[in-house]
Amino acid sequence: MTLDRDAAAFIARARGRLEKADLHPRLRQVGRVEEVGDGVAHVSGLPKTRLDELLRFDDGTLGLAIRIGETELGCILLSEGAGIRAGGAVEGTGDIARVPVGPGLLGRVVSPIGAPLDGGAPIEAERNDPVERPAPGIVERELVTEPLLTGITVIDAMIPLGRGQRQLIIGDRKTGKTTLAIDTIINQRDSDVICIYAAIGQKASTVARVVDAVRRHGAMERCVFVVGSADASPGAQWLTPYAACSIAEYFRDRGQHALLILDDLTKHAITYRQLSLLLRNPPGREAYPGDVFYLHARLLERAAKLSDANGGGSLTALPIAETQAGNLTAFIPTNLISITDGQVYLEPKLFYEGQKPAVNVGMSVSRVGGKTQAKAIKSLADSLKLDYAQFLELEVFTRFGSMVDERTEKKIAHGRRLRSILAQPEYAPLPLSLQVTLLLAVAEGCLDDLPLSVMPDFRKRLAERLPQELPRAAQAIDETGALSEEVRGQLLTLIRDCLSGLAPEADD
């Protein structure tokens, strides 16, 4: 009797489940893997698949269809896909690649599909946004008028950036490109800018160094790190900048300000070339596919300053590109220079001479930021770039041992003090008030008789005494970006006090 009751209860539960189950016919598109290897797969039997649609293989691996043919389609794998074999099943999902976005990503290190890489809890996302989104239209944008301070004097004074700008950081390998980007992130610790760093094909040790530097010196709780490291699949590396841009757009569309670092797009283009050749796309110049320009143009166009009607948020992009032996005319560098609003060129010669950051002022330009520059710096740096360029030309002649007149000698001495002011160590961005004070000291000629050997002592003394003795003046400059005559006089008095006790004369 007990057995009969148990059987009856089981039948009743099974009948209830069957009544609730959705037993209507469903259409599934199932194809077959023809070839797989090196991060790509060729698939047949999916005639209704759309471009950029996600595919799911029988081992759970996701792929992205980026080439559609008459009988076959080519897709890139978003993970290693070790379990995929020729002849295996694959089906279309009807969806596109998405990434989780929201405040839950702040302070986290994630993969391009939103999986945590920092050993923390699963990401609590507000929603999942497409990694590919159209750029804002012209009517949705506003003029770039707000400054984005990097804390790097040579950039803020001569190559200023604005919120919503796209500024390329370009230079040879090991010239300080990533360090420049890290300093910019660290300088946002006291601002309202949220930073998103995209590591594309970078070594794990490099990514760890970046995260550690921001954790020690910056505001980690307002940063997101999207990592497609060198040991990740090529598809994940390709997806990384688009996923990072979607995460940054979430904050921009809420009326906030975001900074996106893309490190670096040269590796991204190389990865795309590899995938395209494996998918048998026709090669073009330097074996890159014909749409490599569009690859980066559609990404960087998403950086913008939105109008007040659209929330007033901004997304500033700092893409990084690597050159070979300083060749700015190579295919990818010229593409990126034409897409962006200016470039910061880091020269190996300056780097090896010890001038860091090694910014070549003559070959660097900001096509937007001059309109956003803080008034305090603009009043001091009007002719700074020209004076510095003239000094560099004059200094070349002195290396040949030629005689120079007294006026030229003074210009060279003045330029060397300026160059010393523009140098600064890594992970130590300067507040606007200190930058203004240093530039004021150079502009007024207060440092022309100061030996270069004691310049570090002067800078250290000034950095310590400015916030202690003139806190209101420093705060006024940092908050308003303006320099009144009263504050100017106070700063000059402090500069002269800091100079007292230092050696007045010495040979250069």
Q: Does residue 335 lie in a domain region?
A: yes
The sign of the CA dihedral 259, 265, 269, 274 is negative
Query: 288 and 410, same structural domain?
Result: no
Q: Given this model, what pLDDT does residue 23 score? A: 65
**DSSP secondary structure of 212-248:** HHHHHHS-GGGEEEEEE-TTS-HHHHHHHHHHHHHHH
> For residue 171, what are the CA distances in angstroms to 262, 299, 324, 471?
14, 21, 8, 38
Question: Crossing angle of helices 265-278/331-339, nearest 10°?
Answer: 120
**97: nearest Cα among 123, 83, 117, 77:** 77
Query: 329 and 438, same structural domain?
Result: no
Q: Given this model, what pLDDT does residue 407 score? A: 82
Q: Given this model, what pLDDT does residue 401 score? A: 61
Query: 324 and 413, same structural domain?
Result: no
Query: 298 and 346, same structural domain?
Result: yes
Q: Given this model, what pLDDT does residue 504 score? A: 55
Of 311, 340, 373, which marks where a domain is finished? 373
Q: Does residue 504 lie in a domain region?
A: no
Q: Given this model, what pLDDT does residue 266 score? A: 95
Provide the annotated active-site residues. Answer: 367
- For residue 360, which phi and psi values (nearest 5 degrees)? -85, 105
Query: 444 and 491, same structural domain?
Result: yes
In 201-359, which ranges are E strands? 223-228, 257-263, 314-322, 342-346
Q: Alpha-carbon distance 455 to 388, whole Å? A: 18
Q: Which domain holds residue 262?
A: 99-373
Q: Given this model, what pLDDT does residue 79 score? A: 87
Instruction: Tell me if the bond preceding 357 is cis, omega within 30° of 0.
Output: yes
Q: Alpha-carbon distance 81 to 128, whole Å? A: 23
Q: Given this model, what pLDDT does residue 508 score? A: 45
| DSSP class of 70 | S
Query: 328 and 397, same structural domain?
Result: no
CA-based radius of gyration for the chain: 28
Query: 487 and 365, same structural domain?
Result: no
Query: 119 and 69, same structural domain?
Result: no
Of 95, 112, 147, which marks where a domain is finished? 95
Q: Does residue 12 lie in a domain region?
A: no
pLDDT tens digits for the chain (508 residues)? 455 677 777 788 878 787 777 666 767 778 899 999 889 999 999 888 888 899 999 888 999 999 988 889 999 999 888 888 999 999 988 899 999 999 999 999 999 999 999 988 899 889 999 999 999 999 999 999 999 999 999 999 999 999 999 999 999 999 999 999 999 999 999 899 999 999 999 999 999 999 999 999 999 999 999 999 999 999 999 999 999 999 999 999 999 999 999 998 999 999 999 999 999 889 988 999 989 999 999 999 999 999 999 999 999 999 999 999 889 999 999 999 999 999 999 999 999 988 899 999 889 999 887 788 888 888 887 777 778 888 888 877 776 666 677 788 888 888 888 999 999 999 999 999 999 999 999 988 888 888 888 898 999 999 999 999 999 999 999 998 888 899 999 999 999 999 887 755 444 4
Query: 285 and 245, same structural domain?
Result: yes
**366: nearest Cα among 173, 154, 214, 202:** 154
Q: Given this model, what pLDDT does residue 400 score? A: 66
Q: Given this model, what pLDDT does residue 293 score? A: 94
> For residue 45, what are the CA distances in angstroms to 34, 58, 75, 130, 301?
10, 15, 13, 26, 36
Of 95, 120, 141, which marks where a domain is finished? 95
Q: Does residue 282 lie in a domain region?
A: yes
CATH number for the domain including 368?
Answer: 3.40.50.300
Q: Given this model, what pLDDT does residue 507 score? A: 45
How many folded domains does the chain comprise?
3
Q: Does residue 13 lie in a domain region?
A: no
- For residue 474, which phi and psi values (nearest 5 degrees)? -65, -40
Q: Alpha-carbon distance 336 to 341, whole Å? A: 10
